[in-house]
Structure 1
Amino acid sequence: MSSAGMDRETGRLIHNFDHVAQSIGDVLTTGIGQRAVREWYGFPGLAMLGENMNHDNLVKFFQIVAIALSMRQKNGLPVEPRFRVIKIVPLEALRSGEFACRLEGEYLPRGHLGDFTPAGKRRVVLSGSGSRFTAVEEAESIG
C-alpha cells in the first residue's frame, strides 16, 4: 500500500516519495504545539529564527531537523515514518538567512503501517529562508 495525499500547491493527487518530501516540508514549517491533537508534531528549530548563522548554530539546526523527523509520537511511530535520515549535508548558507541542505536517508514506503523495510536510499533538498522551507526530492536517487 502506497501513501497518497494532496499537493499543497496544485491540489493534485501525489503518491509515494513525492508525498514524503511534501510531508517533510510540512513538519519543518509547523511549530511545536500548532496541531491540537498532534502535540509532538512540528519543528522546534523555528525558535532559532533570528539567531546568527554560524557553524555552531547550523550544526544545532541540522541536529534538530533529524530529531524532528524521527521523534516518536504517542502511537510509537516517528513523526515522518516513511523516511529515516542518515546524513545531512550542508549545501549553502548565506548571510541573508537563506540556506540549503540535502537530507540523505532511507525510503520506508510502508513505514506509516509499521513496516520499516527500506526500499532504497533517497535524497531530499531542503531549502528556505526564515520560517518557510521547501523540501523536494533530488533528481537522482543514491545506490
Structure 2
Amino acid sequence: MARVGIDATTGRCLVGWDHCLQSIIKILTTELRERVQLRGFGSMLARLLDRPQNPETVIDFYMATAEALEPRMIEGRQLGEPGFVLLQSSVNLSVPGTVRLEVGGVFFENGHLGDYSNPVERTAILSIVVAEGQVSVGAL
C-alpha cells in the first residue's frame, strides 16, 4: 500500500515523498512535549532558534534534527519518520532569525509499513523562521 495522506494546507491528496516531506516539516516544527497524548513527538528546534549563532548551536541543530526524525516506538506508538532515514544534514545560520536546514537521506515508500525495499535518495531544503512567536517552515 502506497503512502497516502492529506495536504494540511490545501486538503488535497499527497502521495509518496510529498507526504513524507510534510511529515518531516510537521515533526520539526512541533515543539517537543507540545502534544498531550504524544509527548515524544516533535523536536527541540524551536528552542534553538533564538540562541547565539555559534558552533555549539549548529551542533545542537544537527542533534535535534536527527533525534526528532529517528524512527522509534515508545509505549506502542510510532514516533519519528519511519519512511525516511536521515544520512546527512546541513545548517546555515547566516541570516538572523532564519535557519536554512538541508536534510538528505533515503526515502522508503512503504517504510511506515515496515517495508524497507526500494530505497530512493531524497534531499529537502527547509527554511525555518520565527515570526510572532510561531515557528514556520517552508520547503525551498
C-alpha contact 2:29 2:45 (8 A) present in aligned 1: no
Cross-structure match for 1:86:
87
How far the C-alpha of 1:115 sits from its partner, in A, is 1.8
| Identical pairs, percent | 27
What's the TM-score once normalised by structure 1's chain length?
0.84
- Mapped to 1, the partners of 2:20 and 2:53 lie a distance apart of 28
Given that 1:83 and 1:106 are in contact with CA atoms closer than 8 Å, whether structure 2 keeps it comes out as yes
Is the contact between residue 53 and residue 97 of structure 1 (CA under 8 Å) also seen in structure 2? no
Aligned position for 1:68: 68
Q: By how many angstroms is 1:116 displaced?
A: 2.4
Tell me, what secondary structure is at the counterpart of 2:81?
coil
Report if the CA contact (8 A) 2:101-2:128 is conserved.
no
The 2-side partners of 1:72 and 1:66 are apart by 12
How far apart in 1 are the matches of 2:79 and 2:95?
33
Greater relative contact order (CA < 8 Å, ≥ 6 in sequence)? 1
Moved over 6 A (4+): none
The CA deviation string for residues 34-83 of structure 1, in whole angstroms up to 9 with x for no partner, is 22222211112322232111222012112210111005232374511000
Distance 2:66 2:11 in 1: 28
Question: Is the 1:85–1:106 Cα contact (8 Å) retained in structure 2?
Answer: yes
Specify whether residues 3 and 112 from structure 1 end up closer, same or farther in structure 2 by C-alpha distance, changes over 3 A only.
same
**Shift in alpha-carbon separation, 1:80–1:135, aligned structure 2, 3 A:** farther
Structure 2 Cα separation of the partners of residues 132 and 122 of structure 1: 22
With the length of structure 2 as denominator, give the TM-score of the two structures. Answer: 0.85
Q: Secondary structure at the match of 1:106?
A: strand
Aligned 1:1-143 pairs, distance under 5 A = 1-74=1-74, 75=76, 77-90=78-91, 92-130=92-130, 131-135=135-139
The root-mean-square deviation of aligned C-alpha atoms, in Å, is 1.8
More strand by share: 2
- Unpaired runs of at least 5, structure 2: none
Q: Distance in 2 between matches of 1:43 and 1:66?
A: 9
AA aligned to 2:94 is L
Q: Which range moved further: 11-20 or 94-103?
A: 94-103
